Amino acid sequence: MKNFKSKPLLLILFVLFALCRSAAGESVPLTLDKALKLAEKNNPVLSAGRERIAQGKARLDQATAAGIPDLAVSLLYQETGEDPLHPVFIEGSQVGFARAGFQSTWKAALSLSHVLYSGGAIRFNEKAKKAALEGIVAQEERTRQSVLWSVQSSWYELLRAKSRLYVAEEVRALASEHLRQVKILLKNGAVAYSEVLRVEVSVSEAELNRIKAKNAVDVAWQALERAVGVSLQSVLSVSSDEMERGFPPLPENPLSFALQFRPEMKALDRAMNSALFSSRAASALGGPRIILSGEVYAADEVLFPSKMEDWRVTLAASW
């Protein structure tokens, strides 16, 4: 009775296992749009380009921060060898000592500093970093176009290879059928044995062409995987129906269109502007600088000072 009850459970487990294997064996159809999306996500060249853009943005933020007021909070502890006492004189006679601070000092301060004038160094440096970032973005857009073009070329080459494989398999099937019919005719004395040998040679050539076509498909898959940046052949399949795709019309004047819109032209222009702004920023570094700074602080002999509270404002100019 126990074995009888366990049989339905074993049958259910067997069916589930078979369904899982069947589902695992099915490959998902791969379209050109999906291949392009996978390339944008997984291609290492595009990933490196995104990192370069992020670095350019960080450099621009750093250059912009130089012109923003700098607010800082500080906590200081200082120990002196002797008690800071200064003698006090009245009419040439010392009358005592005045305390000039603490021997053990804790100081908490809130400070603010801002560059009022830098001769244009900060402004030109920010413009240089902005132009450099625009050049990086344009260059990476050109790289992206090249990668996607490589994916499309590999995609259509794969479709051509699969079509050649289909033709080679059909030729191999026709040659095998021809050989079967010739052997029947040979048995009936309708043809000579040399005809059978000739057809067998044709079958061998057709099989060789089929093997070459299959190898070409594998090579095309590898080229597509290299362009996309991820393994595809083991989990995806391509349908020959994908050959029926439309193409956008060409512009009326391709040369002028390319000179105006090609990303590398914009990248070269931004690189030139970045170099010019960097040169002007370097020249401005030797000019005058005016810095305004202020500080509010409290000092005491213990932590969290509160005895000596004061503030000061400083306007400094340097050349």
Ramachandran angles phi, psi of 93, nearest 5° = -115, 135
In a domain, 231, yes or no: yes
| Segment 284-300 mean pLDDT | 90
Which tens digit of pLDDT belongs to each residue from 233-252? 776 777 655 555 556 677 78
In a domain, 172, yes or no: yes
Which tens digit of pLDDT belongs to each residue from 264-283? 888 999 999 999 999 999 98
In a domain, 16, yes or no: no
Domain count, the chain: 1
In a domain, 196, yes or no: yes
> Which residues constitute the domain of residue 205?
148-244
- Let me know: does 229 contact 44? Beta carbons within 8 Å: yes
In a domain, 225, yes or no: yes
- The model's pTM is 0.69
Q: Please, what is the Cα angle at 143 between 139 and 148, to 5 degrees? A: 145
Which tens digit of pLDDT belongs to each residue from 116-128? 998 889 999 999 9
In a domain, 158, yes or no: yes
Q: Around Cβ 122, how many Cβ atoms within 10 Å?
A: 20
**Identity of the residue numbered 267:** A
Q: Does residue 291 have a pLDDT over 90? A: yes
Residue 262: pLDDT band with limits 50, 70, 90: confident
Q: Does residue 8 have a pLDDT over 90? A: no
SS3 315: strand
Average pLDDT score over the chain? 84
Residue 172 CA to residue 211 CA, distance in Å, equals 10
In a domain, 204, yes or no: yes
**Identity of the residue numbered 178:** H
Q: Around Cβ 77, how many Cβ atoms within 10 Å?
A: 9
214 HSE (CA, 13 A, CB side):
8
In a domain, 83, yes or no: no
Q: Does residue 18 have a pLDDT over 70? A: no
